[in-house]
Amino acid sequence: MPLSTDIVASYRGPRRVVRRHLSGPAQEGRALAFLMIACAVLFIAQWPRLSREATLDPSVPFEGRVAGALFGIVLVLPLLAYLVALVVHGLARLAGGKGSAYGSRVALFWGLLAASPLALFDGLVAGFIGDGPQRALSGALFLGAFFYIWGAGLIEAHRPPTDKSRAPE
């Protein structure tokens, strides 16, 4: 299924989408692709805000701000995402989860990718409107969608294999 269709489907039934991504053999390349595409979209989502900040405060030029965002989002965020996935996997196993570390990574990386369109919206709000209640709402929408999809994906990834066929959405 195309990524765009899966992203839309994740807002209605995230567990079903993650279940489909976890079916079959583990494909670490696909998980890494989810993460890197999400990081690229999150990086692009920062451009309107960075442009606004560079216009309001020209002491740091736009190119410098973009370079900092590139370093943080495309180079550091993937490393942090792998670390967070590992820690959350360990916590899930301590809580009785039966899933694999790969399942935890897919749940996290897919949550980032599926919520990334809302990050684009948040970036536009930050760039055109600036800080305020609208920005807080758009940021909350992004974070809410991310945690909803990631949480549902974690539940699906750490369910015992016998329960996956009859797990409720």
**Mean pLDDT for the stretch of residues 81-97:** 94
Q: Taking the model in full, what pTM does it have?
A: 0.88
Residue-wise pLDDT for 107-157, tens only, equals 999 999 999 999 999 999 999 998 999 999 999 999 999 999 999 999 999
Query: 93: domain range?
Result: 3-161
Structural domain includes residue 169: no
Structural domain includes residue 168: no
Confidence of residue 2 (pLDDT cuts 50, 70, 90): confident
Structural domain includes residue 37: yes
Of 64, 56, 49, which is closest to residue 123 (Cα–Cα)? 49
Structural domain includes residue 9: yes
Structural domain includes residue 103: yes
Structural domain includes residue 60: yes
Q: How is residue 32 written in tokens?
A: 């890494």
Give how many domains the chain has, as a whole number.
1
Q: How is residue 82 written in tokens?
A: 């792998």
CA distance 31 to 161: 20
Residue-wise pLDDT for 38-79, tens only, equals 999 999 999 999 999 999 999 999 999 999 999 999 999 999
The half-sphere exposure of 139 on its side-chain side, counting CA atoms within 13 A, is 12
Structural domain includes residue 35: yes
CA distance 1 to 33: 15
Q: How is residue 125 written in tokens?
A: 């709000």
Structural domain includes residue 40: yes
